[in-house]
Amino acid sequence: MTIISPSILSADFANLERDIKRVEKAGADWLHIDVMDGHFVPNITIGVPVVKSIKKIASVPLDVHLMIENPEKYIEPFAEAGADILTFHLEAANDVLKTIELIKSFNIKAGMSIKPKTSADKILPYIKHLDLVLVMTVEPGFGGQKFMPDCAEKISVIKQYAPPFIQVDGGINDKTAKICTRLGANSLVAGNYIYKSADIKTAVESLR
Ligand code: DX5
Ligand code: ZN
């Protein structure tokens, strides 16, 4: 089964509850929440209070993608706000293993992500400790960018180490999803493809 995790970065923030219910109704398995700090990536988005509010109205697990420096400082607040999966970036962590253990201490899933220029080799030593590996298929920071096919190749390398979830994020649509699932991805993040489509339900189903 492929897990579909719509990115609410492409939702209308003035109508966030409505847009969350829309994707839940369309069959979303998780809700992907992009947290950006204006340092690790050149954009600022959602923080702890918003995650806390979303938790009150969401009925699917919150898949929180931390694109922030010093992620270890913010694991506890995001876990307490209601994150069910917390994914941080390998490039941003000061102590990778400590950060993974910290996430797990809250009894939630631990994920780690790599940017397009980071090779798959860098993440291999940590896979046995992780619930999820997130392969970025665009430079993190913004929705609506073009899928980078070279990044998807990393999926086959990671797959050999069999993490429970291999997730892809960036430029995912019905065509690029197919490339990624064939290589072994079992969790797809999609922002623009889902939210900008005329029929959200069909978009979710076409990804699956
Ligand atoms: C980008 C974010 C993505 C983004 C995906 O840095 O991590 O989750 O919302 O958006 P699309 O699917 O439009 O590329
Ligand atoms: Zn993301």
Query: Measured in angstroms, how far is the CA atom of residue 146 from the centroid of ligand 2?
Result: 14
Catalytic residue among 19, 29, 34, 37: 34
Residue 12 annotated to the active site: no
| Domain total of the chain | 1
10-residue stretch averages of pLDDT, the chain, 208 residues long: 97 98 98 98 98 98 99 98 99 98 98 98 98 98 98 98 98 98 98 97 97
Cβ atoms of residues 92 and 70 within 8 Å: yes
Phi and psi at residue 39, to the nearest 5° = -120, -55
Residue 11 Cβ contacting ligand 1 at under 6 Å = no
Active-site entry in 19, 37, 63, 169: 169
> How many residues would you count in the chain?
208
Neighbours of 86 (CB within 10 A): 29
- The Cβ-side half-sphere exposure at 123, using a 13 Å CA radius, reads 34
Q: Tell me what pLDDT residue 26 has.
A: 98
- Answer yes or no: is the C-beta of 169 below 6 A from any ligand 1 atom: yes
- Token duo for residue 202: 């069909």
Q: 18: which 2 tokens?
A: 């409505």
CATH number at residue 198: 3.20.20.70
28-74: pLDDT as tens digits: 999 999 999 999 999 999 999 999 999 999 999 999 999 999 999 99
- How far apart, in Å, are the Cα atoms of 91 and each of 107, 129, 132? 24, 17, 16
Q: How far is the CA of 67 from the centre of ligand 2 (A)?
A: 8
In the numeric block, which tokens belong to residue 109? Answer: 């899933």
Domain containing 199 equals: 3-207
Q: Say what the pLDDT of residue 105 is.
A: 98
Q: Whose CA is nearest to atom 4 of ligand 1?
A: 143
Report which protein residue has its CA nearest ligand 1's atom 10: 143
Ligand 1 contacts CB of residue 143 (under 6 A): yes
Cα(114)–Cα(133) distance, integer angstroms: 8
Q: Which residues contact 108 (CB under 8 A, 6 or more apart)?
A: 79, 83, 84, 85, 86
Helix extents (H) in 58-95: 75-81
Rounded-to-integer distance, Cα 85 and Cα 100, Å: 11
Q: How far is residue 163's CA from residue 115's CA, in Å, rounded to a whole number? A: 18
Q: Which of 84, 91, 150, 151 is nearest to 126 (CA)?
A: 91
111 lines ligand 1 (CB under 6 A): no
